[in-house]
Amino acid sequence: MAVALALVLLLLQRQRRNSQDDFRYDALGAAQYQFKLHPHTEHYQTLKANFPENAADIRPLQRALFERALVNIPLVMQITHEANQASQLYKRSMISESAWRAIRKAEDTLKAEMDDVSAEADELQQGWGAEIWQQAMHVHVQSQERQAQAAAAAEAAEKEQRTQANRAKREKQKERQKAKKAGSAAPPPPTPEEAAERARKELEEQLAAEEERKAAAQKQRSVNRRGSKKGR
């Protein structure tokens, strides 16, 4: 009896835990797939509605339609990947019915958008509808590769900058250690004020020495004149 009661309690706990998981998936997963189409869809529709009939140049429409397809590529990749996973989980009763319906609705919305883009492409250029999504995927992949390369280059440049900074830091440390071992570090260069004061003192010393030399020469000439007078 005790064993049976324990098994019942265990099953109840497991069911409660599963229901909590389903609720968490409903709250997060289902809401995640309640998306709106990208503004490029409305932009294209507005542009087409106001576009002149029988216009010779339809390239603005083609560019707008291609951008509409391009901005949806990440969403196409996400929904396709997650819908495949959700399908397997749903078959194993690991997600709730509401979450599964939300995913299927997202798939249907996205498929309708893709079909509409293809139809618009064929209307603008016969046969383009079968190629526009492949072209958009190609451009998206190239853009991702360029971004990855730019990020890798920036990371490499930053790493090289850090390496150079560390190398310079180590060199300075070696120089300080070498100067310390030599007994004393080289005196710091004088400031502009100190250099000016030193030059002023040197000039004063030179002028004083010159005055002393002149005075000594004058004194010697006086002595010489007195000696010559006595000799006469």
Residue whose entry in the numeric block shows the structure tokens 């049976």: 4
pLDDT given for residue 63 in this prediction: 95
pLDDT given for residue 106 in this prediction: 86
Instruction: Report the mean per-residue pLDDT for the chain.
Output: 79
Alpha-carbon distance of 98 to 29, in angstroms, equals 9
* Dihedral sign of CA atoms 54, 59, 64, 66 in order: positive
- For the cut 70, the answer to whether the pLDDT of residue 5 exceeds it is no
pLDDT given for residue 21 in this prediction: 40
Alpha-carbon distance of 36 to 154, in angstroms, equals 35
Q: Roughly what angle, to the nearest 10 degrees, separates helices 97-124 and 59-91?
A: 160
Read off the pLDDT of each residue in 101-117 and give the average, rounded to a whole number. 90
- For the cut 80, the answer to whether the pLDDT of residue 127 exceeds it is yes
- For the cut 50, the answer to whether the pLDDT of residue 9 exceeds it is no
Domain ranges for the chain, please list them: 18-157
pLDDT band at residue 59 using 50, 70 and 90 as cut-offs:
very high
pLDDT given for residue 105 in this prediction: 87
More reliable by pLDDT, 35 or 118: 118
Structure tokens at 8: 């019942």
Tens of pLDDT along 173-188? 888 888 777 765 556 6
Read off the pLDDT of each residue in 116-122 and give the average, rounded to a whole number. 96
Read off the pLDDT of each residue in 94-103 and give the average, rounded to a whole number. 84
Of the listed ranges 45-59, 67-81, 141-155, 197-211, the one predicted with least confidence: 197-211
Residues 6+ apart with CB under 8 A from 120: 44, 48, 65, 129
pLDDT band at residue 19 using 50, 70 and 90 as cut-offs:
very low
